[in-house]
Amino acid sequence: MNISQVLDVLAVAKYQNFSRAAEHLFLSQPALSQQVRKLEEELGCTLFLRTPQGVCLTAEGERFCQSARQVAQGWQELQQVAGELTARPVEPLRVGLGARVYSNGLFDPVVAYFDAHPEVEVTFITDISGSILEELEEGRMDVALDRLPPPNLIPGGDRFYWRELLEERQCILLSRDDPRSRQEHLSFRDLQGSTLVTGAKGSLEDRIMMQDCRDYGITLVKSYRSDNISTIMGLVRRGKGFVIGPKSFVEYFGVAAVPMLPEVHIALSFICLRKKAQDPYLASFLAYLTELCREKTMPTSLLIET
């Protein structure tokens, strides 16, 4: 038995639900269940009654938690003293956040991670409409959570480290009133003569879209540009043009999405300079994000406590 198992049991007892307790502990639900089962095997008794409505303590569990609460309080006091004895300077970390972080519901869990790591002073950077790679190379960001630029826009790519976190199929994003929004799919050529809404001239999004138009021989009526994603999606929502993006933008920005043909998949990625990839703060953050996104893509049946 260790202190982690004691705190795990108290969390499950408090929330009466393995999934909510796991979220509070920054663990996956299967990992938490395994920890508790190991402790029950070690003790030779059952601490929780598991039902479809949740869990509740057994008589043995009640007795265990009475003593465990005293242990937890003492552990908290010990940690506070240890922190005062080994106080370290706060570590600054600048994290660039692309729109996919918000549309996939990842922002609050990211904040929760830093709530649990007071030794890191985080600055969130949301204006990354320019070159992500330049921002990283010039030290204005330590890590970016965004789409990875295409290979032809990554000069000297070996200087960078990235890990794909969450893959999404690309769609044509339109106003919900646009007749094309009711089609099963759209090809790039179906956009001939349309109005494009894109990033500021020279930005990553603008360069990608202009290159795609050239590759497919698409002639646009006009383009609206903005360096703000909310403004861009507001124009799309009002029927001023189209944009290419993930399906997760549908609910977040209130637009329609039609899957592209041929299929194109883009991933939200963790991107930093290769020389910083082993930094303990970045490595810990990446491990957390990897587990978080793995749970988001795991079939629901595998996340239900049995």
**Residues 62 and 19 both lie in one domain:** yes
What pLDDT digit, counting tens, does each position of 99-124 carry?
999 999 999 999 999 999 988 999 99
Q: Are residues 41 and 161 in the same domain?
A: no
Does residue 72 sit in the same domain as residue 213?
Answer: no
304 in any annotated domain? no
Tell which wins on pLDDT, 271 or 22: 271
For residue 306, is it within any domain? no
Q: Are residues 60 and 191 in the same domain?
A: no
Beta bridge partners of 123: 94
Measured in residues, the chain has a length of: 306
Does 302 fall in a domain? no
CA dihedral 294, 38, 56, 8 (to 10 degrees): -60
> Which of residues 55, 87, 119 is at a domain's end?
87
Residues 290 and 162 in one domain: yes
pLDDT, one tens digit per residue, over 218-251 is 898 899 999 889 999 999 999 999 999 999 999 9
State whether 15 and 145 are in the same domain.
no
202 domain residue, yes or no: yes
Using CA atoms of 204, 178, 260, 212 in order, give the dihedral in degrees to the nearest 10. Answer: -40
- Do 176 and 261 reside in the same domain of the chain? yes
305 inside domain: no
Q: Considering the domain boundaries, does residue 261 fall inside one? A: yes
The CATH number that applies at residue 206 is 3.40.190.290
Question: Are 251 and 277 contained in the same domain?
Answer: no
pLDDT of residue 298: 53
Q: How many domains does the chain have?
A: 3
* For residue 300, pLDDT beyond 60: no
Give the angle subtended at the CA of 136 by the CAs of 132 and 140, to the nearest 5°: 105
Same domain, residue pair 180 and 246: yes
Q: What CATH number has the domain bearing residue 281?
A: 3.40.190.10
Classify residue 153: in a domain, yes or no. yes
Tell me the pLDDT tens digit for each residue of 26-81: 778 888 888 899 988 998 999 989 888 888 989 998 999 999 899 988 988 888 77
Co-location of 261 and 172 in the same domain: yes
Q: 252: domain range?
A: 168-265
Strand partners, 146: 269
Last residue of a domain, one of 87, 117, 143: 87
